[in-house]
Every structure is written in C-alpha cells, then in structure tokens.
C-alpha cells in the first residue's frame, strides 16, 4: 500500500514538473496580456493583446543551420524561388556552411531569410511567428516599464538605433538589458518579421487610403516637436518598413523570433 502511495506521489511530482515545463517553453518569455495604443490610433481604439509566449532572443544563424540541416528543401540551393529571392542566406558560405566567420556569427541573429522561411522554421519548432500587435506590444516595453512609448529616454534610444548604420557583422543576441518582459533585442539589433506583416497598407489600395493610411501619414507628418510625435515616428518607420516588404524578400538586417500560444 505504502509503495503505491509513493508511486502516486512520485507520479504527481513528475506530472507537476512537466506541467511546469509546458507552462514555460524553453528560451521563451511569458508575456502577460495587456492593452496598448498603436502609434496611429486615436484614444478610442487601443489594442488588447492576449497572453502568449515570445522567444527571448532572435533566432540565430546556428539555430537556423539546424533547421536547414533537418529540412533540405530550405537549403540555399534547394529553396523554391517563389518562397525566397536570390539573396536568401547569402551571408553564409554554402548550404550548410556559415563560412570563415562561423564562430563570430553563429550566435548572431540569422538574417537574409524570407517570411516563408521564417514561418517554416517556426512551424518546425512547433511555434509560430508573432502577430504584428504582439510584437509591437512587447516592443513598447522598456527595461522597467511595460508601456514606455512616452518615456523620453527609451524613445530616444530607439530612434538613435534607427539612425545608426548597420555593423559589418551583427553582434550576438542577448547582449543588452532585457525589457520588462524578459525579452532581449526588440530594438537595436535587427528588424523582425511578423506573421501578418502584409496587413500594413502603404500604397493607395481599397478603403485603406481613406482610413488607416491617412492616419499613418498624419501621425508621422505632424510637427516633430513633442515626444509623442517622436515615438510615433519610430513606430511609423517600422510600419513603413513592413509595408515595403514582400514575403520572399531576403534583407540583410531582417530576421525573426518565434511566438507560441498560451496553452
């Protein structure tokens, strides 16, 4: 009888452990839900984000190498051109070769990956790409505030990065301070793909020209005096960048990180 109880207790213990493991997927931060204001919105339409998990770090070259090893169809020489343009992984020396700088770049974020490739990687990991709103919500946090878009210092840092040219090789991930969610490098390292990047309207199409688009331009074009406008400008740049992308583009400073539903 006693042994049975022990077995049951042990089982409960391990069940508990695995639940804990499920609750906090490896290398991911739990993002508590919340509400934020996209830069173009008026006070009435704040956006609510449900709880989810987000990778603490952008996906690195070494991690992406594992993916292409396991999925030959995503190697540079095999990839279908409809899913990735010519520059796909062009900073690597070969299909499975990071090149002479391998040591230097293995922990740097992978870039030159198309949206299709990023999405396939996420699916292979049992994850998905974050939505635009999820990404923007986490990106609006500073190291000590969940919503720092009105924080002068934070806003200035983001803008400073936007105006700096790219370094020759990207630094490794996770060097700075994490933000309040425990997530690193939302600003200052690379631009990142989001799942629904193609929901951003930038050219005159459909009814967008009447509503959203006008708000975009007004937000960005208003006099650049106050901090609010500056923050708007930083977010406007991100939205403008996304709006300029096609899903097969491979860009030298555009990478990604993965997200996961809260279950």
Partner 1 sequence: MNIRPLVIAILAMAIMFGACSGNDGEREQQSKKQMAAGDHTAHAQMKMASEEPTDESIYNVSSIWLNRYGQKVKLGSLRGKVQVVAMVYTHCEFACPRILADMKRIRDRLSEEELKATNFVIVSIDPERDIPERLRNFASENELSDTNWTLLNGGQGDILELAALLGVKYKKISETDFTHSNIITVLNKEGEVAHQRKKLDDDPTPIVKNIKVLTS
Min dist. Cβ of residue 108 to partner 1 (A)? 15
Q: Which two tokens stand for residue 136?
A: 């923007």
- Answer for which of 56, 119, 187, 257 binds partner 1 (CB under 8 A) is 119
- Answer for which of 25, 41, 85, 228 binds partner 1 (CB under 8 A) is 85
Cβ distance to partner 1 smaller for residue 83 or 124: 83
Rounded Cα–Cα distance for residues 31 and 228 (Å): 25
- Restricted to residues 93-112, the positions that interact with partner 1 (CB under 8 A) are none
> Which one of 6-14, 27-35, 56-64, 81-89 is the stretch in contact with partner 1 (CB under 8 A)?
81-89
Rounded Cα–Cα distance for residues 260 and 263 (Å): 9
Q: Which two tokens stand for residue 66?
A: 């594992």
Min dist. Cβ of residue 115 to partner 1 (A)? 6
Rounded Cα–Cα distance for residues 113 and 248 (Å): 8
Nearest by Cα to 148 from 177, 157, 51: 157
- Answer for which of 138, 251, 258, 259 binds partner 1 (CB under 8 A) is 251
Cβ distance to partner 1 smaller for residue 24 or 222: 222
Place of tokens 């049992």: 126
- Answer for which of 51, 72, 182, 211 binds partner 1 (CB under 8 A) is 211
Exposed/middle/buried for residue 89 (C-beta within 10 Å: 0-12, 13-18, 19+): buried
- Restricted to residues 18-77, the positions that interact with partner 1 (CB under 8 A) are none
DSSP conformation class of 257: -
> Which one of 16-24, 102-110, 139-147, 188-196 is the stretch in contact with partner 1 (CB under 8 A)?
188-196
- Answer for which of 6, 80, 143, 152 binds partner 1 (CB under 8 A) is 80
Cβ distance to partner 1 smaller for residue 124 or 162: 162
Task: Determine, following the binding rule CB under 8 A, whether residue 89 of this chain makes contact with partner 1.
Answer: no
Q: How many residues bind partner 1 (CB under 8 A)?
A: 47
Rounded Cα–Cα distance for residues 144 and 167 (Å): 27
> Which one of 83-91, 94-102, 170-178, 255-263 is the stretch in contact with partner 1 (CB under 8 A)?
83-91
Cβ distance to partner 1 smaller for residue 11 or 222: 222
Rounded Cα–Cα distance for residues 93 and 208 (Å): 42
Rounded Cα–Cα distance for residues 90 and 172 (Å): 18
In sign, the C-alpha dihedral spanning 162, 167, 171, 177 is negative
DSSP string, 154-214: HHHHHHHHHHSPPPSSPPPTT-S---TTS---SSSS-EE--TTGGG---SS-GGGGTTHHH
Cβ distance to partner 1 smaller for residue 24 or 262: 262
- Restricted to residues 139-168, the positions that interact with partner 1 (CB under 8 A) are 162-166
Rounded Cα–Cα distance for residues 57 and 117 (Å): 18
Residues found near partner 1 in the complex (CB under 8 A): 80-83, 85-87, 90, 115-116, 119, 128, 162-166, 191, 195-196, 198-202, 205-208, 211-212, 214, 217-218, 220-221, 236-237, 240-241, 244, 246-247, 250-253
């Amino acid at each position: 009888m006693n042994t049975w109880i022990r077995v049951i207790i042990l089982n409960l213990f391990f069940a508990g452990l695995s639940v804990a493991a499920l609750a906090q997927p490896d290398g991911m931060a739990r993002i508590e839900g919340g509400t934020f204001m996209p830069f173009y919105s008026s006070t009435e339409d704040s956006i609510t984000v449900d709880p989810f998990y987000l990778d603490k770090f952008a996906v690195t070259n070494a991690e992406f190498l594992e993916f292409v090893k396991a999925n030959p169809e995503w190697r540079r020489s095999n990839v279908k051109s409809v899913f990735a343009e010519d520059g796909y992984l062009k900073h690597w020396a070969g299909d499975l070769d990071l090149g002479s700088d391998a040591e230097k770049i293995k922990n740097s974020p992978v870039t030159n990956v198309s949206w299709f490739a990023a999405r396939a990687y996420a699916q292979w990991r049992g994850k998905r790409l974050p939505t635009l709103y999820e990404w923007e919500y986490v990106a609006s946090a500073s190291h000590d505030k969940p919503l720092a878009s009105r924080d002068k210092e934070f806003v200035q840092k983001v803008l400073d990065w936007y105006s700096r040219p790219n370094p020759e090789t990207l630094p490794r991930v996770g060097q700075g301070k994490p933000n309040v969610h425990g997530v690193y490098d939302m600003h200052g390292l690379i631009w990142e793909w989001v799942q629904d990047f193609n929901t951003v309207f930038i050219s005159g199409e459909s009814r967008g020209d009447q509503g959203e688009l006008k708000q975009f331009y007004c937000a960005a074009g208003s006099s650049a005096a106050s901090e609010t406008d500056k923050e708007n400008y930083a977010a406007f740049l991100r939205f403008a960048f996304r709006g300029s992308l096609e899903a097969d583009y491979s860009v030298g400073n555009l990478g990604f990180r993965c997200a996961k539903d809260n279950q």
